[in-house]
Structure 1
Amino acid sequence: MKNRPTRKSFQAKLDQMVRQLRNDIVTGRYAAGDFLPSETALVEQYELSNKSIRRGLDQLVEEGYIIKKHRIGAMVTEAARQSKVTITLGVSPSIERDLDLQHVLDSFHQDNPGIRVKTITFSTSTSFDYLNTARQYLENGLIDVMSINHINFQEFAEHESTHLLEPLAPNAKHYPFLTEAFTLKKKTYVQPLVFTPVILCYNKDHFREADLLEPDSSWTWDDVARAAEKLAKPPERHGLYFHLLSENRWPVFLLQSGMTFRREEEGRYRLNGTKLMDSIELCGELIHNRKAFPNFMSENSDDAIQLFLQEKLSLTLINYLSLNEFKDSDLNYDICPLPYINKPATLLISIGMAINAKSDQKEAAGMLVDYLASEKAQRLLRERTLSIPSMKPIAEWKPENVDETLNRPESYYLFKDIMPTYHFHRDLNLTANQFKSLKSTLQLYWSGLLDKNELASKLEEELEASVP
């Protein structure tokens, strides 16, 4: 008697059947004039009685999706063809550029005429402020699908909010390390779509004009500083610049220290005299070198990218997603691995899509996410953007005899060679809240409001105070 189905479980199965059949009709799986599976087939598929199946079909009749033909079956009506499911996709501001979203959605609509995708944009000052905004949209049912990166997901995991996201089936053709970044306790909550390492971008014409060899994987930050000094022609152009306070820039220097933030046996953090502190100090020396690095007041990384696009910079830190700003330009540029301190290391950024676990349109939402992760959509991304698709065969595809219309860098496939240097933010062993606190304190140091010893003490105190 223990395993006897409850009235509630019967209703859940019935609701599932009605939702699925309705969705299959609206999305075009069953066209007008087609017949649904027989009652016998539905009984077996949904493990319901004939009486329950008839009740569900009667509901679809009332809603105008089908009519019952005696001894023939349930036929989809002409009126049902006009019905459409609308799902809302919440995205960050850069997704339109990074995915060429409108073109991809147009393709999705063509393949799924019964589903309409409405997009809304929501933004925060940093990725580490994402959780509260996203949670409001999810809990209030304002979105069915949303874009999310690995930092966002880290916050969801740390604040035990992954229950707001629908578990997804991993795609075996996507790079495993991208799927793993969105997996918690063997459940995957985000389908990765694109990824990018942080890299060095340089103007080839400027290097040629200065009679300098182009940068390569052997370069240290000292090499970059020396080159930047020779490349600079103020006020016409500067040698090197990037928006240091971006959460995808300053952590690079800490990762290259080769250390992580860990407590010693007695439970305290010891930072003074460590390679972590050396990397912070080197970063400070670099950004205060006025021969190489200008005192430019940027609001975000887009400011630095626009300076580079206008050829007012010779070198900048960038990622593949931001390279899309150059795809229609005639800029003569290329990319190379980041310079290094103690070991080659770069920061990896991964972006994907998640489904609202409370969505009333989960089937349609799932179809959208599956499509975005499909070979067709991933190939569209590869052909129409400079972003790196998460599907390995598509990302590494090298088309032959194809006239490239985008201004793609000569070293585009660099991302394959530097995979051993990839690191996520979490590899520093910091929580999202610790990242926020660390950034604020480092900002004081790099602004000259703390000396090195004061910085070490303050960081140690803040890290210890933030330990649960």
Structure 2
Amino acid sequence: MKRLYLLFMLIFLMLIAVGCNGNADPSSSETDSDTTKVTFSYWGGDFDKKRMEAINEEFKKVHPEIEVELVNLPDGEEYSQKQTVMMSAKTPYDVIQFAEESYQFASRGVLEDLTPYIEEDGLDLDQFYPVAIDAYTHDGKVYGLPLRVGSVIMLYNKDLFDQHDLEYPNENWTWDDVVKAGEKIANPEEGIFGMNPIGGWWASTSQTLQSFGGGVLNEEKDAFHLDSPESRKAIEFMKEVTWDKDIAPSSTQIPEGIDLWTSGKIAMMIDGPWHILSSQANIKEFDWDMTTAPAGSQDATPIFSNAFHMAKDSKVKDAAWEVIKFWTGEEAQKILAQEHGDTPTNKEIAESDLYLDLGGKAPENFEMMLTSLEGAYPPQVTSEWGEINRIVQEGMSKMVDLDQPIEEVMPGVKSEVEALLQKLKD
């Protein structure tokens, strides 16, 4: 009860702050008689800011009648809280970037269904990778359009493989292959590991669980599945490579402020495609390449992306739609493609040389970015995504990173998740 009271007080104080600070109010207004302002909130680092500003410059040439105010916000829980507060005050950002939280907000009725806009303009959704659209289609309605998409991939340090006369990983590798190579390469006493920690965030957890035939929830997303035999096997594997085989480091083995991958201390990095841009910028001392994520009993890789949504209470919906349409259209996709990082959701642009030709830079097997999307699946989102994800990841950290027994941790995780699932059914 005390936590609930404090939460209400926090929201109340934030609403007061919004009301008192004119600069914090993102509600749209006419900047002059001929120009409509559209506020656009997103998160991201320097690459994202540069891309968003570049797209905005192109947008101005086509739509001089619309002024887009880009608002970069901190990501994570703080981002979602900011959106909740603004929506509660009926002063939302007009266009909002969401990722896995899309369904959460759509289920609250605070996002506009984009389906009528898509149909009226005859926008062909077949130009996009289906899985990217599916991720933001809830109950048969499209709530967000994505600019980019990615999945779990594997980067590898060619020098470490060469030092041990090992073949490089490829798209046919399984977890068994990863373990065999990792055991030969790993030397924890010298700070060298065969692979990065796995299971530390939802996509890594999902990829490993699904590759063993498991998952956090069942296919219908209405029952707890983390304690299934398949999921348990995956968790035991994560514990084994961390503690028994010493292939992957625990958090205590990672020096503070050190990136084990870019410093050449990890043979295989199984994670997201953002590592490609940082690797190109920061790796100078060794050669590296990439392939798809390893399989277990089956191939499995979740997508992670983000999409642009329209607030239900936006006062400039027609202009907001023009923004969303342009930000996911051909010009914006080409700007993204030239970064050679995340994959453009437009299939034709993604499969063109504009995206795939790196001009001789690593990784040589960059086309694996497209291969990794074959059979990729959207995350298991529900309206309680944030809370379920928090509970599961806290449990995974205890079981894998802290090596606490599965039998001691799992019952508590199951009880909390099942309570949330029951809440969805009531």
TM > 0.5 fold call: yes
Secondary structure at 1:336 match in 2: strand
Q: CA deviation at 1:270?
A: 7.8
User: What whole-Å deviation, never above 9, does each CA across 1:167-194 have from its counterpart, x for those lacking one?
Assistant: 2415421122221221223321101110
Matched, 1:102 2:49: no
Asked if the contact 1:99/1:387 (under 8 Å) is kept, the reply is no
User: What whole-Å deviation, never above 9, does each CA across 1:132-182 have from its counterpart, x for those lacking one?
Assistant: 332223444252212111x1113224xx22433352415421122221221
Distance in 2, Cα, partners of 1:371 & 1:443: 41
Taking a change above 3 Å as real, the CA distance of residues 176 and 295 of structure 1, as seen in their structure-2 partners, is: closer
User: What whole-Å deviation, never above 9, does each CA across 1:66-98 have from its counterpart, x for those lacking one?
Assistant: xxxxxxxxxxxxxx5xxx433222111248439
Asked if the contact 1:193/1:389 (under 8 Å) is kept, the reply is yes
2:81 maps to: 132
Distance in 2, Cα, partners of 1:142 & 1:191: 18
Q: CA deviation at 1:329?
A: 5.1
- Aligned-partner residue type, residue 209 of structure 2: L
Taking a change above 3 Å as real, the CA distance of residues 406 and 154 of structure 1, as seen in their structure-2 partners, is: farther
Q: 2:93 aligns with which of 120, 129, 143?
A: 143
2:18 maps to: none
Q: CA deviation at 1:201?
A: 0.8
Matched, 1:117 2:68: yes
Matched, 1:293 2:248: yes
Matched, 1:307 2:260: yes
Q: 1:235 aligns with which of 190, 207, 210?
A: 190
1:196 maps to: 150
Taking a change above 3 Å as real, the CA distance of residues 101 and 316 of structure 1, as seen in their structure-2 partners, is: same
Taking a change above 3 Å as real, the CA distance of residues 406 and 143 of structure 1, as seen in their structure-2 partners, is: farther
Q: CA deviation at 1:280?
A: 1.0
Q: 2:352 aligns with which of 384, 393, 397?
A: 397
Matched, 1:358 2:313: yes
Distance in 2, Cα, partners of 1:124 & 1:111: 30
RMSD: 3.5
Distance in 1, Cα, partners of 2:233 & 2:316: 52
Taking a change above 3 Å as real, the CA distance of residues 442 and 120 of structure 1, as seen in their structure-2 partners, is: same
Distance in 2, Cα, partners of 1:423 & 1:106: 34
Moved more, 196-205 or 285-294: 285-294
Q: 1:321 aligns with which of 274, 296, 313?
A: 274
Secondary structure at 1:90 match in 2: strand
1:70 maps to: none
Matched, 1:156 2:105: yes
Distance in 2, Cα, partners of 1:226 & 1:442: 24
Q: CA deviation at 1:388?
A: 0.4
Q: Give the structure with higher Rg (CA).
A: 1
Q: 2:328 aligns with which of 349, 369, 373?
A: 373
Q: CA deviation at 1:353?
A: 0.8
- Aligned-partner residue type, residue 145 of structure 1: V
User: What whole-Å deviation, never above 9, does each CA across 1:5-59 have from its counterpart, x for those lacking one?
Assistant: xxxxxxxxxxxxxxxxx99xx9xxxxxxxxxxxxxxxxxxxxxxxxxxxxxxxxx
Taking a change above 3 Å as real, the CA distance of residues 322 and 351 of structure 1, as seen in their structure-2 partners, is: farther
Secondary structure at 1:359 match in 2: coil
Distance in 1, Cα, partners of 2:95 & 2:226: 42
Distance in 2, Cα, partners of 1:338 & 1:117: 38
Taking a change above 3 Å as real, the CA distance of residues 99 and 336 of structure 1, as seen in their structure-2 partners, is: farther
Asked if the contact 1:148/1:353 (under 8 Å) is kept, the reply is yes
User: What whole-Å deviation, never above 9, does each CA across 1:392-448 have from its counterpart, x for those lacking one?
Assistant: 111111359x97458352222223334343122218998543332222222222244
Matched, 1:458 2:417: no
Secondary structure at 1:419 match in 2: coil
Q: Which runs of 5+ in 1 are unaligned?
A: 1-21, 27-62, 66-79
Distance in 1, Cα, partners of 2:145 & 2:225: 38
Asked if the contact 1:353/1:369 (under 8 Å) is kept, the reply is yes
Taking a change above 3 Å as real, the CA distance of residues 133 and 406 of structure 1, as seen in their structure-2 partners, is: farther
Distance in 2, Cα, partners of 1:325 & 1:94: 12
Q: 1:343 aligns with which of 286, 298, 320?
A: 298
Q: CA deviation at 1:337?
A: 1.6
Secondary structure at 1:317 match in 2: strand
Instruction: Using structure 2 for the length normalisation, give the TM-score.
Output: 0.77
1:208 maps to: 162
User: What whole-Å deviation, never above 9, does each CA across 1:209-252 have from its counterpart, x for those lacking one?
Assistant: 32110012332323223322333455364332146422221222
- Aligned-partner residue type, residue 339 of structure 1: P
1:93 maps to: 44
- Aligned-partner residue type, residue 86 of structure 2: Y
2:235 maps to: 280
Secondary structure at 1:248 match in 2: helix
Q: Which runs of 5+ in 2 are unaligned?
A: 1-28
Distance in 1, Cα, partners of 2:316 & 2:253: 41
Secondary structure at 1:308 match in 2: coil
Paired residues in the alignment total 379
Q: CA deviation at 1:116?
A: 3.0
2:3 maps to: none
Taking a change above 3 Å as real, the CA distance of residues 270 and 409 of structure 1, as seen in their structure-2 partners, is: closer
Distance in 1, Cα, partners of 2:101 & 2:228: 32
Instruction: Using structure 1 for the length normalisation, give the TM-score.
Output: 0.70
Q: CA deviation at 1:122?
A: 2.2
Asked if the contact 1:329/1:407 (under 8 Å) is kept, the reply is no
